[in-house]
Structure 1
Amino acid sequence: MNQELQTAVRAARTAGAGILKTFGELAHSDIQPKEYKDFVTAADRQSEADITKILTEAFPDDSLLCEEGSNKTGTSGRQWIVDPLDGTLNFIHSFPVFAVSIALRDSTGELALGVVYQPVLDELFTATRGEGAFLNGTQIHVSTRNDPEHFLIATGIPFKDYDYLDAYLATLRDVIHDSAGIRRAGSAALDLAYTACGRFDAFWEYKLYPWDYAAGVLLVREAGGSVTGFDGNSDVFAHHSIIAGTPATHGLISEKAQRHFIL
């Protein structure tokens, strides 16, 4: 494990331990509205502080892009992308589906490593470009299922921007016909990690932010899957929409999304 991955893992585990201390015990005063139907908690902010401290001490010349605003422009050309608590609404409601997500883009803009940590289950997903994806040290791969009647597909439902709701629902209707079931867990980072390890056969969501998906994108790719935007562009940072899947599912979801969305 290289120094960057070691540091990201240490940061994720430190943040996860802190998050668990208040899980199920949040006071109302610990929750603040961030924007319409979007919230931030004291646990989000403390997690981000823990992560950025560790990353900055180890790599002071790197940039930071963080959901809660602890951003920094460095001189190295590298950028750490951090979601300190992906699934905040789940966390607020004591629904145990949330994660810490940390990714690194190198000086060429390519994803170099990704870490997604689910502290409730102590599941650590890691990936380094060109070296595979792992769950708690064991290599993982995307699903090999080929029959749509067996597919379990994850998605994210629009919850504050309704301009594309009709297109989303039309896509969802089509996907329902070509799957055994749909899941909306509330954490894109975990949806992608679970796609990487074969629990989900695919994941799609429209309008995400880099901290939601950066680490998970590398996990899926290193586990043998494909990830693009809805427009088919492999540069997921260009469009902020995600279709992640296996050789059997990626094209299936892409065709349905492109049928209904104006891109």
Structure 2
Amino acid sequence: MQQELQIAVEAAQRAGKIILRKFGELSKSAIHPKEYKDFVTDIDHESESAIMDIISRAFPRDGFLCEESGDREGASGRRWIIDPLDGTLNFIHSFPVFSVSIALEGADGELAAAVIYQPLQEELFTATRGEGAKLNGASISVSDRHDPQHLLIATGIPFKEYHYLDEYVAMLKDVARDSAGIRRAGSAAIDLAYTACGRFDGFFEYKIFPWDYAAGVLLVREAGGIVTGFDGAHDVFRHHSIIAGNPVTHPMLREKAKKHFTQNLLS
């Protein structure tokens, strides 16, 4: 996987340069509504095209699942899962929290390599299956904190769909009581990367998509953490809900999800 990881890093860094070129200077004409309360910019498209071009030249038989251009099958059975700008709304508002997320799913359906890059901070998170996770080349691991008085938990707040808002708010209140604080950064990729390196002790979000979390899932698992859906399933692609944390915080968050989300929302 070293060649794959190297190509993913090259692609992420190229996308980062494209993103930084327009950070703080994005014109209104470059912002387009995608659906209700969801936006895409010309930079999203340019960044995604650059990533796909670099990967396609190196691995022409691989497929893609991209936030902006959708699903494209490949002959190899492998696919690259790409979010060219995770945190687009932050980027639009010049809020300096956004990232590039690239993951490789193997022909066996398991995540094999991952890169999350924060261009402003020049932080490069990488992981390959069975070989651990790294930040700028140094090994990282999930936190070993377990006392609720010290736990910092990340989440994503619903912004488009509200049929589960009551359940989410009830869980949020419960987590707030059993933690030192909650953060909402606006980029699930960053939330998961920060969980992998121990900045956050756990993360949960309901209703997100593979390009948001694929790379982060591998990072957390390779850093010694646990990631499942709200239903406890290892296959997080089934229901698009995520609970990630260390061996103490993950079960705690999982129990709260079971307590507050009805069975039809869990499955």
What's the TM-score bracket when you normalise by the shorter of the two chains? over 0.9
**Pair 1:56-2:60 in alignment:** no
Instruction: Tell me the TM-score normalized by structure 1.
Output: 0.99
Letter paired with 1:174: D
Q: What is the CA distance between 1:234 and its match in structure 2? A: 0.6
Change (3 A) 1:234 1:70: closer
Q: What is the CA distance between 1:70 and its match in structure 2? A: 5.2
Secondary structure of 1:3's aligned partner: helix
**Pair 1:151-2:151 in alignment:** yes
Aligned to 2:240: 240
Letter paired with 2:125: F
The one-character-per-residue Cα deviations of 1:2-35 (angstroms, maximum 9, x if unpaired) are 1100000000000001100000000000000000
Once residues 258 and 182 of structure 1 are traced to their aligned partners in structure 2, the CA distance between those partners, rounded to angstroms, is 19
Letter paired with 1:81: I
Once residues 72 and 257 of structure 2 are traced to their aligned partners in structure 1, the CA distance between those partners, rounded to angstroms, is 35
Q: What is the CA distance between 1:73 and its match in structure 2? A: 1.1
Alignment of 1:146-185 (within 5 A): 146-185=146-185
Letter paired with 1:143: S
Letter paired with 1:153: I
Alignment of 1:88-237 (within 5 A): 88-237=88-237
User: Contact 1:48 / 1:70 at 8 angstroms: preserved in 2?
Assistant: no
The one-character-per-residue Cα deviations of 1:140-173 (angstroms, maximum 9, x if unpaired) are 0000111011000000000010000000000001
Letter paired with 1:236: V
Once residues 31 and 167 of structure 1 are traced to their aligned partners in structure 2, the CA distance between those partners, rounded to angstroms, is 32
Which runs of 4 or more aligned residues in structure 1 lie more than 2 Å from their structure 2 counterparts after TM superposition? none
Letter paired with 1:95: F
Letter paired with 1:57: R
Instruction: Tell me the TM-score normalized by structure 2.
Output: 0.98
Q: Which stretch has the larger CA shift, 43-52 or 1-10? A: 1-10
Q: CA RMSD in A?
A: 0.7
Q: Which stretch has the larger CA shift, 253-262 or 116-125? A: 253-262
Once residues 140 and 217 of structure 1 are traced to their aligned partners in structure 2, the CA distance between those partners, rounded to angstroms, is 14
The one-character-per-residue Cα deviations of 1:89-119 (angstroms, maximum 9, x if unpaired) are 0000000000000000000100001100000
Secondary structure of 2:237's aligned partner: helix
Letter paired with 1:171: M
Structure 2, gaps ≥5 residues long:
none
User: Contact 1:157 / 1:184 at 8 angstroms: preserved in 2?
Assistant: yes
Once residues 235 and 70 of structure 1 are traced to their aligned partners in structure 2, the CA distance between those partners, rounded to angstroms, is 21
Q: Which stretch has the larger CA shift, 52-61 or 1-10? A: 1-10
Alignment of 1:65-80 (within 5 A): 65-69=65-69, 71-80=71-80
Once residues 12 and 125 of structure 2 are traced to their aligned partners in structure 1, the CA distance between those partners, rounded to angstroms, is 10
Once residues 44 and 212 of structure 1 are traced to their aligned partners in structure 2, the CA distance between those partners, rounded to angstroms, is 14
Once residues 110 and 64 of structure 1 are traced to their aligned partners in structure 2, the CA distance between those partners, rounded to angstroms, is 15
Q: What is the CA distance between 1:208 and its match in structure 2? A: 0.7
**Pair 1:27-2:21 in alignment:** no
Once residues 12 and 144 of structure 2 are traced to their aligned partners in structure 1, the CA distance between those partners, rounded to angstroms, is 30
Percent identical pairs in the alignment equals: 70
Q: How many residues align?
A: 263
Q: Which stretch has the larger CA shift, 173-182 or 71-80? A: 71-80
Once residues 55 and 22 of structure 1 are traced to their aligned partners in structure 2, the CA distance between those partners, rounded to angstroms, is 23
Once residues 176 and 132 of structure 1 are traced to their aligned partners in structure 2, the CA distance between those partners, rounded to angstroms, is 31
Secondary structure of 1:65's aligned partner: strand
Letter paired with 2:138: T
Aligned to 2:17: 17
Once residues 256 and 106 of structure 2 are traced to their aligned partners in structure 1, the CA distance between those partners, rounded to angstroms, is 33
User: Contact 1:52 / 1:70 at 8 angstroms: preserved in 2?
Assistant: no
Q: What is the CA distance between 1:72 and its match in structure 2? A: 1.8
Q: What is the CA distance between 1:71 and its match in structure 2? A: 3.5
